[in-house]
Amino acid sequence: MGAPAAQLLLLLFACRWAPGGANLSQDDSQPWTSDETVVAGGTVVLKCQVKDHEDSSLQWSNPAQQTLYFGEKRALRDNRIQLVSSTPHELSISISNVALADEGEYTCSIFTMPVRTAKSLVTVLGIPQKPIITGYKSSLREKETTTLNCQSSGSKPAAQLTWRKGDQELHGEPTRIQEDPNGKTFTVSSSVTFQVTREDDGAVIVCSVNHESLKGADRSTSQRIEVLYTPTAMIRPDPPHPREGQKLLLHCEGRGNPVPQQYLWEKEGSVPPLKITQESALIFPFLNKSDSGTYGCTAISNMGSYKAYYTLNVNDPSPVPSSSSTYHAIIGGIVAFIVFLLLILLIFLGHYLIRHKGTYLTHEAKGSDDAPDADTAIINAEGGQSGGDDKKEYFI
């Protein structure tokens, strides 16, 4: 095969399979369309375009080759089908409330010489129904194994089912698929088997259906389970550190499903039992040293019993401070504070006096060096009166 022939084949192939899945060719009068996917009950728009219409109108036909629209003229009496756009280069129609029966190949035709057509495959997705969980009994016993079943109908293509318990994924059996009687949709089912523990009491088991028609929306159903288990108990003292003379309550905190209906109190070395009651607390109105010892509480339910222990040590009475000693302590604190303030005041005052006394003595010394004392002045005065040029000074 020569090079020109190979190039021609490549050109024809490129025109036949144009980007975007459109049915294009080099012929400007060849119309083109696109395949569409729609969810059952939704609306689909079919768009047919042509570059050169050659003075002819476009036409849409359904899979049964019934004409829907010829140009802007309605041909089939179906109110679900409406005209969207009609120009010499385009014919677009919409189909609302799409049903599964609307699925198939729709044909866009232009009546040129020869007649040219383009196909649009419409795929209708069947929406799966909300799943249903079966197989749960009224209640389960601890360590019992249970199997739950989940089923959903109406999906197209077949949906997938998943299980989870709270935030934890449960690994169920692979999804089973069965075709519905209409021959178009499917029923899917799955089951999960697991052993329950006391932590599963009140847990929520969820079955979810995953399908492209849901577009990420959650479609699931849940089943809350109840687990019956034997009780547990612990003894809590109130107050936590009991002393002689105080009132004490020993609370027997029982948990279980069902909750304990009866509590049996015992003290080691003492018979018969101290108390059998529906109340969970043992009360000591006034503690004595003789109340010290080990106490047991047995929590009893229909599922069994559990015994908890607590060792009671009665401490000596706590010393109560008298009002007079409190008063003296307050007075002593005030006096100590006042003495502290006086000491600080005396320290500052002494420092002030020392600084100012040094300044005064310095000025006095300077004054005595510059002026004669009083006796010298008197002698000078007398000498001046008696003697003219022969005056003498005497210093006493």
Q: What is the CATH number of the domain that holds 270?
A: 2.60.40.10
Same domain for 255 and 205:
no
pLDDT of residue 317: 84
Same domain for 86 and 141:
no
pLDDT of residue 192: 96
What is the percent of the chain with per-residue pLDDT over 70, rounded to a whole number?
81
Same domain for 194 and 244:
no
pLDDT of residue 345: 87
Please tell me the distance from the alpha carbon of residue 33 to that of residue 110, in angstroms, as a whole number. Answer: 12
Same domain for 100 and 45:
yes
Same domain for 145 and 116:
no
Domain edge (last residue) among 218, 245, 260: 218
pLDDT of residue 386: 40
Same domain for 166 and 86:
no
pLDDT of residue 330: 85
Q: Is 121 exposed, middle or buried (0-12, 13-18, 19+ CB in 10 A)?
A: middle
Interacting residues of 144 by C-beta distance below 8 A, sequence separation 6+: 195, 196
Among residues 322, 254, 318, 315, which one has the least CA distance to residue 289? 315
What is the percent of the chain with per-residue pLDDT over 90, rounded to a whole number?
66
Same domain for 308 and 239:
yes
In a domain, 350, yes or no: no
Same domain for 253 and 189:
no
Calculate mean pLDDT across residues 160-164.
Answer: 96
pLDDT of residue 80: 96
Domain edge (last residue) among 297, 312, 327: 312
Calculate mean pLDDT across residues 374-385.
Answer: 39
Same domain for 103 and 43:
yes
Please tell me the distance from the alpha carbon of residue 45 to that of residue 93, in angstroms, as a whole number. Answer: 6
Same domain for 185 and 163:
yes
Q: What is the pLDDT of residues 171-222, one digit of tens each?
A: 999 999 999 999 999 999 999 999 999 999 999 999 999 999 999 899 999 9
In a domain, 81, yes or no: yes
In a domain, 375, yes or no: no
Domain edge (last residue) among 81, 110, 125: 125
Rg (C-alpha) for the chain, rounded Å, is: 54
- Ramachandran sector of residue 326 (left: φ over 0; alpha: ψ -120 to 50; beta: rest): alpha
In a domain, 60, yes or no: yes
In a domain, 177, yes or no: yes
Calculate mean pLDDT across residues 227-252.
Answer: 94
Same domain for 83 and 45:
yes
Q: What is the pLDDT of residues 10-39, one digit of tens each?
A: 333 334 434 333 444 458 899 999 999 999
In a domain, 302, yes or no: yes
Do the Cβ atoms of 190 and 237 come closer than 8 Å? no
Helix (H) or strand (E) holding 269: none
pLDDT of residue 270: 83
Residue 332 banded pLDDT, cuts 50, 70, 90: confident
pLDDT of residue 392: 38
pLDDT > 60? residue 381: no
Range of the domain at 67: 32-125
pTM exceeds 0.85 for this model = no
Among residues 98, 93, 67, which one has the least CA distance to residue 81? 93
Average pLDDT, the chain: 84
In a domain, 275, yes or no: yes
Residue 92 banded pLDDT, cuts 50, 70, 90: very high
pLDDT of residue 349: 84
pLDDT of residue 357: 66
- The amino acid that residue 284 corresponds to is F
Q: How many domains does the chain have?
A: 3
Do the Cβ atoms of 311 and 237 come closer than 8 Å? no
Calculate mean pLDDT across residues 234-256.
Answer: 93
In a domain, 333, yes or no: no
Same domain for 121 and 68:
yes
